[in-house]
Amino acid sequence: MQMTRREALRAALVSGVAAVGATGGFSMADETKKYEIPEGFKGDIKQSVCKWCFGSYPMAEFCDVVKSMGLVGIDLVDWKDWQLVRDHGLTVTMGNIPEVQIRVGINRVENHERIIASYEKYIPMAAELGVPNVISLSGDRKGMDPQEGLKNCITALKKVATIAEKNKVNVCLELLNSKDHDDYMADSVQWGIDLIKGVGSERVKILFDIYHMHRMEGDVINNIRRAYDCIGHFHTAGNPGRQDLDDQQELYYPAIMRAIKALGFKGYVAHEFSPKHGLDSLYEAIKLSDV
């Protein structure tokens, strides 16, 4: 059985959303709490959030509350909710594509036809509904040499790029750490750079997950700078624990966000962490990242 992105990410969390519920995470009390755009909010970093981190919180209500905080969109949204998010005045900053899986990906030629067909169907829908980015994932090694996988990914994404260019939608392949996601192929910054240069399309970029690449390589700001021309999207989370962007973890997000801003990044930065304190954690992350 193929594991969906959501299932794989939940399984990989050191302290997942379910566990957080017992230690003060999301609670129904959050539904009645009022938020507002923080005083002095700049909005230079266009922030969004991954809905899956907040479990069963209803999507419509979630859209309203995060919009009130100053977020511009929702990330990693399934196609069936693209219209709903748009109707609430937000952008689907990264759309999920059926058939695109963490474990079974485009690094294997036998998967290409099925996955490319899914892009052919859903990229035009993304364009119609104002979804600027859709996800891509490499798949696991399963004994395959990374250079062979790289070649296969380039072959597939060149075909997908033709669809993306026609519809003016970006395809972003996510770099994940292979400590949490055991055996995942696209687990290094250089592999990602080689991929994007090999495809050679302005519509195919890296999804640079700061947490994942910190787990693998550290040196986050320097890695962002050297890969910048290949990056189309960012994800955040604290390390260790993949939780809040607070003072209990070793990544210092104000400096990281200042570096991203200084590079002139115009895309989206999406929060993808397991919250210790529900929506309050998200609100604090928004304020911290607004540099």
Which pLDDT belongs to residue 1?
33
Which pLDDT belongs to residue 31?
56
Is 199 a domain residue?
yes
- Domain of 255? 5-20+42-289
Is 35 a domain residue?
no
CA dihedral 164, 201, 152, 97 (to 10 degrees): -30
Helix axes 253-262 and 278-289, enclosed angle (nearest 10): 50
Is 34 a domain residue?
no
Rounded Cα gap, residues 291 and 289, in angstroms? 6
Rounded Cα gap, residues 174 and 103, in angstroms? 13
Q: Closest Cα to residue 51, out of 59, 60, 42?
A: 59
- Note the pTM of the prediction, 2 decimals: 0.90
Count structural domains, the chain. Answer: 1
* Structure-token pair, residue 99: 């058939």
Is 251 a domain residue?
yes
Is 73 a domain residue?
yes
Q: What CATH code is carried by the domain that includes residue 90?
A: 3.20.20.150
291 residues of the chain, pLDDT tens digit each:
344 544 544 444 433 333 333 334 444 445 557 899 999 999 999 999 999 999 988 999 999 999 999 999 999 999 999 999 999 999 999 999 999 999 999 999 999 999 999 999 999 999 999 999 999 999 999 999 999 999 999 999 999 999 999 999 999 999 999 999 999 999 999 999 999 999 999 999 999 999 999 999 999 999 999 999 999 999 999 999 999 999 999 999 999 999 999 999 999 999 999 999 999 999 999 999 999
Is 205 a domain residue?
yes
Is 124 a domain residue?
yes
Which pLDDT belongs to residue 168?
98
Is 192 a domain residue?
yes
Which pLDDT belongs to residue 34?
87
Query: Quick one: DSSP state of residue 195?
Result: H
